[in-house]
Chains A and B, each alone.
Chain A
Amino acid sequence: MNALSVQGLTKTYRNGVQALKGIDLAVEEGDFFALLGPNGAGKTTLIGIVTSLVRKTGGEASIFGYDIDRQLEQAKSCIGVVPQEINFNQFETPLTIVVNQAGFYGIPRAIAHQRAEKYLKQLQLWEKRNHASRGLSGGMKRRLMIARALMHEPRLLILDEPTAGVDIEIRRSMWDFLRGINQRGTTIILTTHYLEEAETLCRNIAIIDGGRIIERDRMSNLLRRLHSETFVFSLRQPLTAAPALERYPVKLIDETTIEVEVSKQENLNDLFARLSALGIEVLSLRNKVNRLEEIFMRLVEKGAAA
């Protein structure tokens, strides 16, 4: 069964902006799905329609088979949403916020308190449960919104840039947490500007641009499409000019740094052998850009040019 199914979805705002121009999308149950796109591409509008915060202009959408026009209450009871902007009452405490949210989904108060303890502990907020939430740090506020979204243990969790502005350590622990939820059976749809995040977590991906889906594939298939990768080498001895390496375009960045483009047909062993033969000693090596970022930029630039 599809967790989310969308056909011909359109949205035109009152100011005439056409945010969605006929979106077709299916997300399978149990998937960890990335929805990527540049700012203003239509990601948040799409999520807004699915969660009923934005009214669609046309098309159809269903959550686990519940049509959002005819069975909206059933559809909404399956969804937990973590929005992009902080949207809890900052005068309330984390405990009150999550317990009340459970109540809005029909969870009895005694069970809500048990779940509040479980999720606030797992998201490292239990110590802050009785503090005014306006005093929480940015990362804590994001984690509080995740705890809130999990209180009714939804079948579909939608996260709209959940790690925006969160430091790398917290971000990585949030990734582990989300992986755990997904492994337990919750379908997750994630939008993010951190493409490393999408590449690390998600199995399937859709790229939306200008209100249209411009790519929809498995993450592994998409990454396989890269014909070459650029590596940055740090060298021990300084160079005065880029070394000549047959079949490998090289660029001298500074006297101890070079960039080398390696095509899919070549291998790094061969490249290292050639560098050694020239007496060039490599101290370290890294990808110039994230692989998904490279594909993403190509697709979006192609879309803009079309």
Chain B
Amino acid sequence: MSTLVEHSAAAPQSMAQIRRIGFQTIIIREFHRIVRIWSQTILPSGVTATLYFLIFGAVIGSRIGPMDGISYMMYIAPGLIMQAVILNSYNNVVSSFFGAKFGKHIEELLVSPLPSWIIVSGYVAGGLLRGAMVGLLVSIVTLFFTHLPVKHPVIVVAAAAMTSVTFALGGFLNAMFAKNFDQISIIPNFVLTPLIYLGGVFYSIAQLPAWAHHLSLVDPILYMVNAFRFGFLGVSDVPVIVAFTIMLVAILALFSTAVLLLDRSSGIRE
């Protein structure tokens, strides 16, 4: 082994540079992970969306009348895209962060000079990236089955991005608390999926009886799906401003909690 090691004579990096490059590095690492295991991260949502459109759109949907004056296939399209965004943003962060915790390589980040808010932001950006990639794929699949107008592009992008960030943060918190792989699949399977299905992806809550209508209003995903749908189709069961307020409050609360927990290192540091 050679001993030609140079002790660093370079100027020390500023903390701002460390944070900027550190943040970029986490995103690059997450991107490589998403691409490396594309058959687990990207492909399934495309297949699932195709099946949804074939079954609920073409087979069953043809027998269902228009919803809010819009063809059923077109009505469910934004909800199906949002479902993919939610599940993939959540799953990306929960599996990547828990994997790092389980494999102990989270220590690479914990011993580095990166502050907790950068680490959380990096993982969330990874979730946002996968949410965007999968959202784009499902949107392309959608166009094979139905025309999809975009009435308010800014609202479409903002609703998708804020929803993605919200659930990426949710995935981060899940991974912080999880002790084994079972505990990272419980929330997506038993909480997120029911909330998505009951959150107006496949129907308008205006068609529900009063009690179910009121019950649906406590489902936060309802607001996200409707804001997204409003961006495309210009129809929503709830005021869009309420939807964005809920997402903003959720992001601030979840981000603060995630940073606080990582600072205290619950379940990570001893």
Contact = CB atoms under 8 A, between A and B. Distances in A.
B1 A55 contact: no
Contacts of B2: 121-122, 177, 180
A89 B105 contact: yes
Contacts of B14: 106
Contacts of A86: 104
A103 B10 CA distance: 15
A89 B103 contact: yes
A73 interface: yes
Report, as a range, how many residues of chain A touch the other chain.
35 or more
Contacts of B100: 89
Contact of B3 (A83, A96, A179): A179
B13 A106 contact: yes
A30 B224 CA distance: 58
A176 B2 CA distance: 8
Contact of A73 (B26, B115, B265): B115
B3 A180 contact: yes
Contacts of B15: 73-74
Contacts of A155: 7-8
Contacts of A101: 108, 112
Nearest to B264: A55
B201 to A, nearest CB: 34
Interface string B1-22: 1111111101011110111111
A180 B107 contact: no
Report, as a range, how many residues of chain B touch the other chain.
35 or more
Contacts, number: 132
A175 to B, nearest CB: 9
Interface string A159-192: 0000000000000011011011101111000000
Interface in B91-129: 99-100, 103-105, 107-115
Interface of B: 1-8, 10, 12-15, 17-22, 24-26, 28-29, 32, 36, 99-100, 103-105, 107-115, 265, 269-270
Interface of A: 13-14, 48, 51-55, 72-74, 76-77, 79, 81, 83, 85-91, 96, 100-101, 103-109, 118-119, 121-124, 148, 150, 152-155, 173-174, 176-177, 179-181, 183-186
Given A86-B104, A89-B99, A177-B2, 6 more contacts: A52-B269, A73-B114, A77-B113, A104-B112, A153-B7, A184-B7
Q: Which 5 residue pairs of A and B lie closest in terms of their CB atoms, listed nearest first?
A: A180-B3, A103-B25, A153-B8, A106-B18, A106-B13
8 contacts: A53-B111, A55-B270, A77-B113, A87-B104, A100-B29, A100-B108, A101-B112, A184-B7
